[in-house]
Amino acid sequence: MLEGILMGLNTAISPGNLLMVIGGCLIGTFIGMLPGLGPMSIIAIMIPVAISIGDPSAALILLAGVYYGAIFGGSTSSILINAPGVASTVATSFDGYPLARQGKAGKALTVAAIASFCGGTIGAVLLMIFAPSLASVALLFHSAEYFALMVVGLSAIAAFAGSGNVGKALLMTLLGLILSTVGEGALFNAPRFTMGILDLQSGIGFITLAMAMFALPEAMYLVLDPRRSDNDGGGEIKDLRITRAEARSIAPVIGRQSIQGFLIGVLPGAGATIASFLGYAVERNIAPKAEQEEFGKGSLKGLAAPESANNAAATGSFVPLLTLGIPGSGTTAILLGALIALNVTPGPRLLVDEPQIFWSVIISMYIGNVVLLVLNLPLIPYIAKVLAVPRTFLIPFILFFTLMGAYIGQNNATELLMLVGFGICATILRFANYPLAPLLIGFILGQMLEDNFSRSMQLEGGIGFILERPMTMGLLAFAVLLVVLPAWRSRRQRAGEMPEGD
């Protein structure tokens, strides 16, 4: 391994490859800040550029830099304007945006940058140490285990519900699952629930729904409730630094979620989105009662957890890509296509046949995370000033990026009509105090849940696969624990608060 590290270091620190790291991180960061243009789109655009470079190591270093740069920068729009254009930064907006509305946008961006840096760096260390052995663990996961993993993700909905809103959160999750069934399923080509609209055959776009659930209602909320923008301190830039006490409180969160996020990222098909949701849910469930109440209202732990988890997962997703040749997400599927176009065959033989590619990518991730931190931290005071823009300009700004993101995501004008329709519904639900995050979670996980369940039923010959696979049963038991534990804790606390003799 030491020989491989030295080989990778020698390749990664060459002037040309250092430029690739810096260029990839810059492009990824600025693209990540724009709602609607996620890493998948920009990597697809960058493939011809990467192929023209000729050197596979340099090309992959560039594309990898764009990937984790976009994940790193994606938190900015989630925190500042509540417009998560990438699925893995949806959970970031739950506490990042409330912090911004409290006049703590600078602090929120600082925490996000530090958590992202630590998650990416810890992920790179784990990737270097455990990549070969983790590849064999990833092979143990089949459709049944992925189905159970999706159930674990859905069982965490209580973490995204406010006090007394678990029933509403469950209804919104079911609505999200229903919306995920629109369009053609993976096993059957027949369209479902499209009402004869051809544009719905490919399903509802994630970007459209994400913008409709978060960004559009925010703009309408600012119009309908002007006091929200005047009294929350959103225009005042202060608290750019975090205190020692705050650093001590988020350090264990970052450590735990970096490891958990990396392990989830290793699993093909899981990825940064699942990691960020589970990271947020786990931290909320293990937090003391007083701190649990802060989640969703501006908790630094609630911001640090998904940011460290999604960046670590982005790094972890390179384990199945490089060692097995299995893409773990849509973005890594595009990276796989780029590797094949560069005449590089990822898989178990990559470490033996072309070790310089494997190790140079890993070492470039260390360098890339430092570059991202150096690029982002000095810019935070200037980025945070977006919130100092007067409301009369901020609302059109949010609407422009919302509409642009939805249109670019599908390149279809019908998406704009759907965006407005869903946005109006989301605004009404928001005024009725229904949590919108569970709907998006149900939508994101719904299709993967259905696909893996159907595949397991076909392969195992019925629902008996749940009892026949110990790992599946273990994951489902963990899902039950995630549901039961918060309810048991709250019941026990209520019993402790009752006066004696009642």
pLDDT computed for residue 400 by the predictor: 79
Residue 474: domain span: 2-495
Report which residue type is found at 246.
Answer: E
Residue 281 lies in a domain: yes
Residue 500 lies in a domain: no
* DSSP structure class, residue 234: T
Q: Which of 62, 91, 92, 74 is nearest to 36 (CA)?
A: 74
Residue 410 lies in a domain: yes
Residue 445 lies in a domain: yes
8 Å CB contact between 37 and 31: yes
3-state secondary structure of 44: helix
pLDDT computed for residue 502 by the predictor: 45
Residue 378 lies in a domain: yes
pLDDT in tens, 99-146: 888 888 888 888 998 998 999 889 888 888 877 676 566 667 777 877
Four-residue CA torsion sign, 250, 252, 253, 257 = positive
pLDDT computed for residue 232 by the predictor: 47
**Cβ neighbours for 44, distance < 8 A, ≥ 6 positions apart:** 334
Residue 112 lies in a domain: yes
Residue 502 lies in a domain: no
Lowest mean pLDDT among 92-96, 278-282, 341-345, 415-419: 341-345
CA dist., res. 310 & res. 120, Å (int): 9
pLDDT in tens, 385-398: 766 667 677 678 77
Phi, psi of 322 (to 5 degrees): -85, -35
For the chain, what is the domain count? 1
Provide the whole-model pTM. Answer: 0.72
Buried b (16+ CB within 10 A) or exposed e, 188-201: eeebeebeeeebbe
* DSSP structure class, residue 499: P
**Cβ neighbours for 3, distance < 8 A, ≥ 6 positions apart:** none
Burial class of residue 37 (count of CB atoms within 10 Å of its CB; 0-12, 13-18, 19+): buried
Residue 285 lies in a domain: yes
8 Å CB contact between 406 and 36: yes
Question: What tokens does 60 get?
Answer: 């992959």
Q: CB atoms < 10 A from the CB of 366, how many?
A: 18
For 135, 144, 187, 394, the CA distances from 326, given in Å and listed in that order, are 10, 17, 20, 43
